[in-house]
Amino acid sequence: MRRSLLAVLIAVLVFIFYYFGLFNSIGTNEGTVISIFSTLTVISISLIIFSENRNPSTTMSWILLLALLPVVGLPLYFLFGQNVFKRRKYDKKALRDQQAYERIEKDAMHVKRDLTCFTDEQQQLMRLTRRLARSPIYFATETQILNNGDETFSTLLEELRKAQHHIHMEYYIFRSDDIGTSIQKILIEKAKAGVKVRFMYDAVGSIQLSKAFLKEMRDAGIEVVAYGGARILFFSSRVNYRNHRKIVVIDGNIGLIGGLNVGDEYLSRNKAYGFWRDTHMIVKGEAVRTLQLIFLQDWLHMTGESVLDKEYLSPNIEPITDGGVQIIASGPDNERRTLKNLFFSMITSARKSVWIATPYFIPDEDILTALRMAALSGLDVRILFPAKPDKWLPFLASHSYFQSLLEVGVKVYEYEKGFLHSKLLIVDGEVATIGTANMDMRSFHLNFEVNALLIQTRSVQQMVKDYERDLNSASLIVREEFMKKRLFKRLMESLARLLSPLL
């Protein structure tokens, strides 16, 4: 903490020197003093960065930015680069989460399952993810894939209308537009009817959510919380740790998880994006307990209110049999990098194929190497990626990674029908993960995410069919054509890649 306070003090002094003396001191001794002082500042902060044992690529990106553009790099570092806030803020949360997971783990311990129907690789993955995520793998859970906004929101609205006891809702982006208002009306109606409604939104992702919209909900008795704080300051490092989760739990028996936020653009009503291709999932049965737990722990973190009661974690669940389902959370409060390591383990355990769909492809060296080795081993490795961007910098950075993959036989497809926002990883046509995590470093290290791991479920079969159908709306990138890009575009992609660990 003292090191960071010292760095802040030095940075403030540097800015005073820059803004009040730089332009009047070029070529003078004062200019030399400023240069020396700036250099010392960069060195000081670089030492702090090194001492925090970060990912090497992230470390070098910060140091390079500080060295080349100190006036830009310093405020960016204090806004996005410090780990001190994260450690102070999330250490207690991590401990509480571990204790809560142990509770549902004990509830699942008495259930013995015959795993002989699963391959050795699948059983090994189950053992790994159970230890890594601390959440149980359930075998009495039914899942159903929901394609795009029309299926997802029609299902969501239908299930919300059936709610009798409680509704828990958590979204990164929630807009007060047509679909947002439709959901709000049902929540208000249910709250007035005596259903307990808790609504949580991310303060950064949902910054445009109107105060009047939220007031209507509160006036109806809905408990509303902004994750990160309602008055989050954009010069605070808190803006870097965002709750990217999309969770809905209804009566403890029904859950929804996937890539869709709430907004009209997710129903393909925004001309800038056109058709919005996305994938969501409805969950019924035992695995809803983990979704519920994740929501309640996030709620506890923001409100201090503990509601880990039996009525929320032990609902009446009908017996269902459909493969194995595990709900896995990841975030800056978990140093295990759970979802990143899940992706890595799935790729390295593959024996036939690795299929990926992601709107942003900014992998770290581990994931990139795993994909290259899979392709070199003769596996069918495919990446489905949007042909047009919603954000230019991640789009350019993503393209910079494709060359090394194309060289070893990875097939990269560009989805051309609209904007692809699905977040999928399918291995051997039998194991898959779907959720909120992109194949990028922000999802690996900074965001709060939640995914479902599916092993030999009917939903995996549906995901395979949907993926094959999406390929019909995509074009395969030809390596020779890809290499013909103009020098300027290559330079832009290289620059974006240099900054990619910071995105």
- pLDDT band of 228, cuts 50, 70, 90: confident
Q: Are residues 177 and 275 in the same domain?
A: yes
Give yes or no: residues 18 and 47 share one domain. yes
Residue range 206-225: mean pLDDT, rounded:
96
Contact 320, 140 (CB under 8 A): yes
Residue 82 is predicted with a pLDDT of 57
Question: Could you tell me which of 432, 414, 413, 431 has the C-alpha nearest to residue 423?
Answer: 432
127, part of any domain: no
C-alpha 287/C-alpha 450 separation (Å) is 13
Among 364, 421, 440, 466, the one annotated catalytic:
421
The pLDDT tens digits for 233-261 are 555 556 778 999 999 999 999 999 999 99
Structural domain contains residue 331? no
pLDDT for 316 equals: 65
Catalytic site includes residue 244: yes
Q: 44 with 103, same domain?
A: no
Q: What is the band of 162 on the pLDDT scale with cuts at 50, 70, 90?
A: very high
Q: Contact 138/287 with Cβ under 8 angstroms? A: yes
Position 484 scores a pLDDT of: 82
Which residues contact residue 451 at a Cβ distance below 8 angstroms, ignoring those fewer than 6 apart?
Answer: 257, 327, 328, 330, 339, 342, 423, 433, 434, 435, 436, 437
Does 191 reside within a domain? yes
Give the pLDDT score at 357: 99
| Same-domain status, 397 and 468 | yes
Is the same domain home to 73 and 31? yes
Radius of gyration from C-alpha coordinates of the chain: 24
Q: Which residue has the tokens 């930015």?
A: 65
Q: Are residues 391 and 244 in the same domain?
A: no
Q: At what angle do helices 338-349 and 365-376 cross, to 10 degrees?
A: 10
Quote the percentage of the chain above a pLDDT of 90: 58
Grade residue 41 by pLDDT with cuts at 50, 70 and 90. low
| Domain end point (choices 301, 324, 347) | 324
From the candidates 97, 202, 251, 333, give the one annotated as an active-site residue. 251
What pLDDT is attached to residue 17?
A: 52
141 contacts 325 by C-beta, under 8 angstroms: yes
Number of domains in the chain: 3
**Residue among 179, 183, 140, 180 nearest 163 (CA):** 183
- Residue 445 among the catalytic residues: no
Instruction: Give the confidence band of 446 by pLDDT, cuts at 50, 70, 90.
Output: confident
What's the mean pLDDT when you consider all of the chain? 84
**More confidently predicted of 33 and 215:** 215
- Last residue of one domain, picked from the residues 324, 348, 376: 324
Does residue 116 lie in a domain region?
A: no
- The C-alpha atoms of residue 453 and residue 324 are separated, in whole angstroms, by 8
Looking at the structure, do residues 160 and 243 belong to the same domain, yes or no? yes
| pLDDT of res. 352 | 98
Tell me what the mean pLDDT of segment 299-320 comes to.
Answer: 79
Task: Give the rounded percent of residues in the chain with a pLDDT score beyond 70.
Answer: 73
Q: What is the pLDDT of residue 500?
A: 67
Same domain, 106 and 184: yes
Residues 270 and 376 in one domain: no
Q: Is residue 137 part of a domain?
A: no
**Structural domain includes residue 135:** no
Query: What is the mean predicted confidence (pLDDT) over 450-458?
Result: 97
- Residue 474 pLDDT greater than 60, yes or no: yes
**Does the residue 167 lie in any domain?**
yes
Question: For the domain that residue 409 is a member of, what is the CATH number?
Answer: 3.30.870.10
283, 344: one domain: no
Among the options 93, 168, 399, 423, which is catalytic? 423
Among the options 244, 301, 340, 399, which is catalytic? 244
The helix/strand/coil state of 412 is strand
pLDDT tens profile 359-374: 999 999 999 999 999 9
Q: What is the pLDDT of residue 23?
A: 45
Task: Decide which of 324, 347, 367 is a domain's last residue.
Answer: 324
pLDDT at 276 over 70: yes
Q: Residues 76-107: pLDDT tens digits?
A: 665 555 555 555 566 666 666 666 666 666 55
Cα distance between residue 42 and residue 229, in whole Å: 31
Domain with 312, as residue range(s), is 91-111+142-324
- Whether 117 maps to a domain, the answer reads no
- Asked whether residue 170 falls in the same domain as residue 318, the answer is yes
Clarify whether residues 184 and 307 are in a common domain: yes
**Mean pLDDT across 420-444:** 97
Segment among 107-121, 177-191, 246-260 with least mean pLDDT: 107-121
Beta-ladder partners of 145: 281
Structure tokens at 111: 């259930």
Q: Read off the DSSP letter of residue 452.
A: E
Average pLDDT over residues 223-238: 71
- Contacts with 44 (C-beta within 8 Å, 6 or more apart), sequence order: 6, 7, 10
166, 246, 284, 399: the active-site residue: 246
The secondary element (H helix, E strand) that includes residue 92 is: helix 84-109
Residue 3: the pLDDT is 45
Active site residue 166: no
Cα gap 94→83, rounded to integer Å:
15
Whole-prediction pTM value? 0.84
